[in-house]
Amino acid sequence: MTEALLRTFAPQTDPIKDKVVLITGGTGSFGKRMVQTLLTRYAPKKVIIFSRDELKQYEMRAELEAQFPPDLLARLRFFIGDVRDRQRLVMAFRGADIVIHGAALKQVPAAEYNPSECIATNINGAENVVWACLQNGVQKVVALSTDKACSPVNLYGATKLASDKIFSAANNLSGDIGTRFSVVRYGNVVGSRGSVVPFFQKLIKQGASELPITDPRMTRFWISLSQGVNFVLSSLEIMRGGEVFVPKIPATLVTDLATAMAPDLNQKIIGIRPGEKLHEAMISADDARTTWELEDRYLIEPILYEYPRAKVETLKGVRKVEEGFAYASDLNTERLDAEGIRRLMPAYLE
């Protein structure tokens, strides 16, 4: 069971060998780990970090200079810009072979209070990325999504669902340009900014007498940063265009997570926050009609794009899911209790 829950999702080849890779939102938790992974394990021609925060770029550059030799650092480029600015994107994407789109506004309460800002980045920004990729003949594009995009109940999830549709439909626009667009959708990233894990760690370190729990029934999917990075790279390796890739990852009760991290602390029920789900889903029953199961992931076919299904059927271990299948954190058979979380947490926080 432990081995199944610790799938690496590592690609079989080097999908970015001699390629120019650009990462939007490149100074975030995912972007940092992706850049470190590319420089350590793979052979990109160039890696471009695109983000809007000059301080984060300065800090990230300093961190990387302490980790890598000059010859690898010479492959890096830092580009300040915002995905809301289409002209800036067109300029930044010149010469890029692969784009990994990670830029987004992600905080649920902030999105509820500032809907127009969330729409401007997550929806309009997605359209701008598509436009810039087509303008520059980018070969492959992978957009990062979220479990909240499946049957969304909050604005953040709704904007990411719209973004997913934009990237899938972009394959209809590429024509003889040949750009292919796909989406990866996964759950909470352990240790990322905004995750409950560093929040609990902070409270424990400060000597809190209890940990806040929104609802004792709440469940969530979990994936590590390394798994998330590998999942994107292996999806790049097998994508044909238009798919939404969903990894097979474990789920937990949030109460078990709190118990694993602080077995001696009380848990205080504070109620579900606005826009928050009791359980998260990544594949709905309606998606099942176009969903395939592989050994370590699911693949949701696009609705409107003429998808090359014959090639999907050649993938290792592939099979069609049953009618009415749904992949949700409360239905997931790969569940971790408090003891399992304690055993696996070091690997998830690497």
Q: Please list the active-site residues.
A: 148
For residues 78 and 226, give the distance between their C-alpha atoms in angstroms, rounded to a whole number.
22
For residues 97 and 217, give the distance between their C-alpha atoms in angstroms, rounded to a whole number.
45
Torsion of the alpha carbons at 233, 234, 237 and 240, rounded to the nearest 10: -100
State the pairing for strand pair 327-328/281-283.
Answer: antiparallel
Cα 81 to Cα 52, 53, 57, 59, 122, distances in angstroms: 5, 8, 11, 17, 15
Q: Residue 324: left if φ>0, alpha if ψ -120 to 50, beta else—which one?
A: left
Token pair listed for 47? 């890696």
**Contact 7/228 with Cβ under 8 angstroms?**
no
State the pairing for strand pair 219-223/188-189.
Answer: parallel
**Contact 16/41 with Cβ under 8 angstroms?**
no
For residues 224 and 226, give the distance between their C-alpha atoms in angstroms, rounded to a whole number.
5
